[in-house]
């Protein structure tokens, strides 16, 4: 399968998750659940293309770490933002940018896993 098609798949999955409400279900704000996917997915495709130049296991581990750290930041930002009654601007930004990183990490993970390695 051509790498461009794999990149389109890796781009489309987070956007579809944002479109169909999966990001909202996982904790993203309904107003920007699709927006973070549209911003993060292309970044993740570029990162996944870079990671796919390395061996499979290191690229999968790095993209999984990015996904986990970004989701953890988003979750922590959400809880702190809610606990502050929407007064903590840093927590709100952490929540928002954490979801951008989550979409990027998901795209990077998909692309790093899907692109075949030439040995």
pLDDT per position as a tens digit, 90-105: 999 999 999 999 999 9
Does pTM surpass 0.95? no
Tell me how far the alpha carbon of residue 94 is from its chain's centroid. 14
Report how far apart, in Å, the C-alpha atoms of 8 and of each of 5, 29, 83, 93, 94 are.
5, 25, 38, 28, 28
Residue 1 has pLDDT above 70, yes or no: no
CA 56, CA 29: separation in Å to the nearest integer? Answer: 33
At residue 117, the 3 state secondary structure works out as coil
pLDDT per position as a tens digit, 51-89: 989 999 999 999 999 999 999 999 999 999 999 999 999
Domain ranges of the chain: 3-114
pLDDT value for 117: 78
């Amino acid at each position: 399968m051509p790498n461009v098609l794999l990149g389109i798949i890796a781009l489309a999955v987070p956007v579809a998750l944002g479109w169909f409400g999966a990001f909202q279900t996982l904790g993203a704000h309904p107003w920007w659940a699709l927006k973070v996917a549209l911003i993060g997915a292309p970044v993740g495709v570029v990162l996944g293309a870079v990671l796919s130049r390395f061996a499979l296991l290191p690229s999968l581990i790095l993209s999984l770490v990015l996904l986990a750290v970004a989701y953890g930041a988003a979750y922590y930002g959400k809880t702190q933002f809610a606990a502050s009654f929407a007064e903590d601007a840093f927590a709100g930004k952490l929540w928002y940018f954490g979801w951008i990183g989550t979409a990027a990490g998901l795209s990077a993970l998909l692309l790093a896993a899907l692109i075949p390695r030439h040995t």
